[in-house]
């Protein structure tokens, strides 16, 4: 199975693991995003189920678990394995493509192209490093470090450091670390930092992060989006050097800030559910704005939003704290 899985305390970890593995196969090898989403949703729902699931019929009562997934759960519980997964794991194409997509910068299409050229392992990638683009080279360089999840204690230190630096660069800022950190999870893979102010702020913040050694590598840098690599600086109390981590920084206009924070907090499944509910209530919602949809089907002017709760109120949905959004 993939090493990239979150630590779980669910009594149904075996089920959620095989569903996640199937999801990754459908996305990376078959490019079947609808199946990927279905497996992901089922895994998310089951991970929150407090009791050990006894059979597929019990699982089918949960929202997001259909007949086919229930059958797979029955097979897994009865045999301890899944024929489809065993076939996937023993298939050189599937296992190699799935592995290559774990290198940041290598998507399913690139992974298949590399596989067709005989590239299957990290050692194979190192032999053709000169052919990789900059993003892929960075992904290869830090592969082992990126595979390891970020402890919450490390993220908290980053949060204090980043907010302090923002205050030095510009006092008229709003800054929020989003993603699974904001949802209260104990570990995460990616630092997602959103800020709002004038367009020059993003470049100023990145340059300052670089000058103090916090940002070590840049993947891409625009006026509103930065992608790179960061490393928390070691101090006298730290026993060992911190690992390199992936970081995304987004600059969001003030009038779009809370829609952006909501979106980047996630989870992706929660966002999809919320957008669906918004449409049912006559609104269109994305990472930029929430707008009413008229009788012609056209979206109107963006509504004023001063908090995340405003968005929930517009669509008549009970407000959920970030820690309640890990679906």
Say if CB 15 and CB 39 are below 8 A apart. no
**Do the domain assignments include residue 257?**
no
pLDDT at residue 6, as a whole number? 43
Q: Report whether pLDDT(103) > 80.
A: yes
Beta carbons of 221 and 206 less than 8 angstroms apart: yes
Examine the domain organization and report whether 30 and 110 are in the same domain.
no
Lowest mean pLDDT among 6-20, 54-68, 223-237: 6-20
Residues 246 and 207 reside in one and the same domain: yes
What string of H, E and C letters represents the secondary structure of 153-194?
HHHHHHHHHHHHHHHHHCCCCEEEECHHHHCCCCEECEEEEE
pLDDT grade, residue 2 (50/70/90)?
very low
- Domain membership of residue 279 (yes or no) is yes
Is the separation of the CB atoms in 116 and 161 below 8 Å? no
Dump the DSSP string for 229-253: EE-PPP-TT-SSPPPPEEEEEEE--
Domain that holds residue 272: 268-324
Segment 15-23 shows an average pLDDT of: 95
List, for residues 177-224, the tens digit of each pLDDT value.
Answer: 999 999 999 888 888 888 887 667 788 889 989 999 999 999 999 989
Whether the upstream peptide bond of residue 174 has omega within 30° of 0, thus cis, is: no
Does the pLDDT at position 4 exceed 60? no
**Average of pLDDT values for 73-91?**
95
Distance CA 78, CA 138 (A): 43
Instruction: Give the pLDDT confidence score for residue 233 in this predicted structure.
Output: 87
259 in a structural domain:
no
pLDDT at position 171 over 80: no
d(CA 229, CA 217): 5
pLDDT digits (tens, 9 = 90+) for 31-74: 999 999 999 999 989 988 999 999 999 999 999 999 999 999 99
pLDDT confidence tier of residue 273, bands split at 50, 70 and 90: very high
Q: If you average pLDDT over residues 144-158, what whole number do you get?
A: 94
Whether 319 has a pLDDT exceeding 90, the answer reads: yes
Q: How many residues does the chain have?
A: 327
Residues 6+ apart with CB under 8 A from 17: 1, 5
Same domain? For 238 and 282 the reply is no
The CATH number for 100's domain is: 1.10.150.20
Predicted pLDDT at 189: 83
Q: Rg of the chain's alpha carbons, rounded to an integer?
A: 21
Tokens in use for 276?
A: 């669906």
In this structure, are 11 and 100 located in the same domain? no
Distance of CA 24 to the CA centre of its chain: 13
Q: Taking every pair of C-alpha atoms in the chain, what is the biggest distance, in angstroms?
A: 63
Asked if 279 contacts 315 with a C-beta cutoff of 8 angstroms, the reply is no
> 199 with 161, same domain?
yes
One-letter-per-residue 3-state SS of 45-56? HHHCCCCCCCCH
**Angle at which helices 13-28 and 92-100 pack, to 10 degrees?**
90
Read off the CATH number of the domain in which 303 is found.
3.30.210.10
CA 273/CA 267 separation, integer angstroms: 10
Verify whether residue 72 is a known catalytic residue.
yes
The alpha carbon of residue 152 and the mean position of all alpha carbons in its chain are separated, in whole angstroms, by 16
In this predicted structure, what is the pLDDT of residue 240? 80
Q: What is the SS3 assignment for 299? A: strand
Clarify whether residues 141 and 164 are in a common domain. no
Give the tokens for residue 218.
């840049």
Catalytic position from the list 5, 48, 72, 131:
72
Residue 262 lies in a domain: no
Write the CATH number for 178.
3.30.460.10
First to last CA, the chain: 22
User: Can you list the alpha helix ranges (DSSP code H) found in 212-307?
Assistant: 257-265, 268-280
State the total domains in the chain.
Answer: 4
Based on the fold, state whether residues 154 and 217 are members of the same structural domain.
yes
pLDDT value at position 141?
98
- Computed over every residue of the chain, the mean pLDDT equals 91
Do residues 104 and 143 share a domain?
yes
Same domain flag for 160 and 221: yes
Structural domain includes residue 239: yes
Stretch 10-19: mean pLDDT, rounded? 93
256 falls within a domain: no
User: Where does the pLDDT of residue 284 fall: very low under 50, low under 70, confident under 90, or very high at 90 and above?
Assistant: very high
Q: In the prediction, which pLDDT does 323 show?
A: 94
Residue 1 belongs to domain with CATH number: 1.10.150.110
pLDDT at 85: 93
Kindly give the pairing relationship between strand 245-251 and strand 190-196.
Answer: parallel
CB burial class (10 A; 0-12, 13-18, 19+) of residue 172?
A: exposed
pLDDT of residue 8: 47
CA nearest neighbour of 245 among 106, 104, 111: 104
Write down the pLDDT at residue 9: 63
Residue with the bigger pLDDT between 194 and 173: it is: 194
Q: Which of 52, 69, 90 is the last residue before a domain boundary?
A: 90
Judgement on whether residues 79 and 36 belong to the same structural domain of the protein: yes
Domain end among 219, 251, 283: 251
Residues 163 and 237 in one domain: yes
**Token pair for residue 285?**
């919602």
Report if residue 299 sits inside a domain: yes
77, 102: one domain: no
In a domain, 263, yes or no: no
More confident residue, 295 or 219: 219
């Amino acid at each position: 199975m993939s090493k990239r899985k979150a630590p779980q305390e669910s009594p149904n970890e075996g089920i959620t693991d095989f569903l996640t593995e199937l999801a990754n196969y459908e996305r990376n090898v078959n490019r079947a995003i609808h199946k990927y989403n279905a497996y992901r949703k089922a895994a998310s729902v089951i991970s929150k189920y407090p009791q050990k699931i006894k059979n597929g019929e019990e699982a089918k009562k949960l929202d997001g678990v259909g007949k086919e997934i229930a059958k797979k759960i029955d097979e897994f519980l009865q045999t301890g394995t899944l024929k489809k997964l065993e076939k996937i794991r023993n298939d050189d194409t599937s296992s190699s493509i799935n592995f290559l997509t774990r290198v940041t910068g290598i998507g399913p299409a690139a992974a298949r192209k590399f596989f067709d050229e005989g590239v299957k392992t990290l050692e194979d990638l190192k032999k053709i490093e000169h052919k990789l683009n900059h993003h892929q080279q960075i992904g290869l360089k830090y592969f082992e470090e990126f595979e390891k999840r970020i402890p919450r204690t490390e993220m908290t230190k980053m949060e204090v450091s980043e907010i302090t630096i923002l205050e030095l660069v510009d006092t008229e800022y709003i800054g929020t670390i989003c993603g699974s950190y904001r949802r209260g999870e104990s570990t995460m893979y990616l630092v997602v930092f959103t800020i709002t102010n004038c367009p020059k702020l993003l470049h100023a913040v990145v340059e300052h992060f670089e000058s103090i050694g916090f940002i070590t590598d840049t993947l891409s840098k625009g006026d509103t989006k930065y992608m790179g690599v960061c490393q928390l600086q070691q101090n006298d109390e730290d026993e060992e050097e911190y690992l390199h981590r992936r970081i995304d920084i987004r600059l969001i206009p003030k009038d779009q800030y809370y829609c952006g924070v909501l979106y980047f907090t996630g989870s992706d499944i929660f966002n999809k559910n919320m957008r669906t509910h918004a449409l049912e209530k006559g609104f269109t919602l994305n990472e930029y704005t929430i707008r009413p949809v008229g009788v012609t089907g056209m979206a109107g002017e963006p509504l004023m939003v001063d908090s995340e709760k405003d968005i929930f109120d517009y669509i008549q949905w009970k407000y959920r704290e970030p820690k309640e959004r890990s679906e």
